[in-house]
């Protein structure tokens, strides 16, 4: 008699967070608040069936090197071709840009030009507030930490937020980019928007843009050693 091979139930669609370096737990916290299943992504296997992938803020040079060392850069390119959506926050925006000022691009997945450290050093980090009508009817908080600037977008890229002489958020059909950090604020609007872009419906689909229960230390309950 042939052995019985158990049939695995299909996993619910998830959003992955690239877990090589940077702000992973903060994104996990926001997705959990929306009732969206999420997973940390360290290996190619973990990318095989996610609906979307968040490339978090951190050190873009470090993350790019690790992507190449582990061969994840090519896997990400493959998975985007099969339909996976991407969201780059801050350093993640640098990683997905087609053009970087003064240096070679990395993944080159969205036709934007990015200037690294566009506002200056770490000491020039700042907080602001702005309305992004496509994302939320209410103004949302923006946290810029040694942020890049998007200086130009090409055909097929929609500007979601422009402030003064720079673009702070943009998207193509497959890629979302923000030069600020929604995960460091009580704002759930961008995570809710990205979930929709991935074809997922949050449990709190019509909730407020800001979660009043969020604290600056909320993410620490998810922190763990690798």
d(CA 86, CA 54): 6
d(CA 217, CA 199): 30
Catalytic residue, from 90, 106, 171, 187: name it: 90
User: Which among 107, 167, 169, 119 is positioned nearest to 144, based on CA atoms?
Assistant: 119
DSSP H or E run through 62: helix 60-69
Catalytic residue, from 27, 30, 106, 181: name it: 181
Whether residue 106 lies in the annotated active site:
no
Whether residue 181 lies in the annotated active site:
yes
Catalytic residue, from 183, 187, 191, 198: name it: 183
* Number of neighbouring beta carbons within 10 Å of residue 105: 16
Q: Which residues are catalytic?
A: 90, 181, 183
């Amino acid at each position: 008699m042939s052995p019985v091979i158990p049939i695995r139930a299909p996993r619910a669609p998830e959003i992955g967070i690239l877990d090589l370096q940077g702000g992973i737990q903060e994104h996990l916290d926001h997705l959990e608040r929306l009732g969206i299943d999420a997973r940390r992504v360290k290996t190619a296997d973990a990318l095989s069936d996610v609906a979307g992938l968040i490339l978090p803020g951190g050190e873009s040079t470090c993350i790019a090197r690790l992507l190449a060392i582990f061969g994840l850069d090519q896997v990400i390119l493959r998975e985007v071709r099969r339909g996976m959506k991407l969201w780059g926050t801050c350093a993640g925006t640098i990683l997905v840009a087609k053009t970087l000022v003064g240096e070679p691009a990395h993944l080159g997945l969205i036709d934007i030009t990015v200037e690294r450290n566009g506002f200056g050093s770490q000491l020039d980090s700042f907080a602001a507030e702005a309305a992004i009508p496509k994302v939320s009817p209410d103004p949302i908080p923006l946290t810029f930490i040694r942020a890049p600037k998007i200086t130009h977008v090409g055909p097929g890229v929609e500007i979601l937020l422009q402030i003064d002489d720079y673009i702070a958020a943009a998207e193509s059909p497959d890629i979302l980019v923000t030069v600020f950090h929604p995960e460091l604020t009580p704002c759930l609007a961008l995570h809710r928007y990205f979930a929709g872009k991935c074809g997922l419906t949050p449990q709190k689909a019509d909730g407020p843009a800001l979660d009043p229960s969020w604290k600056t230390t909320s993410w620490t309950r998810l922190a763990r050693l690798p």
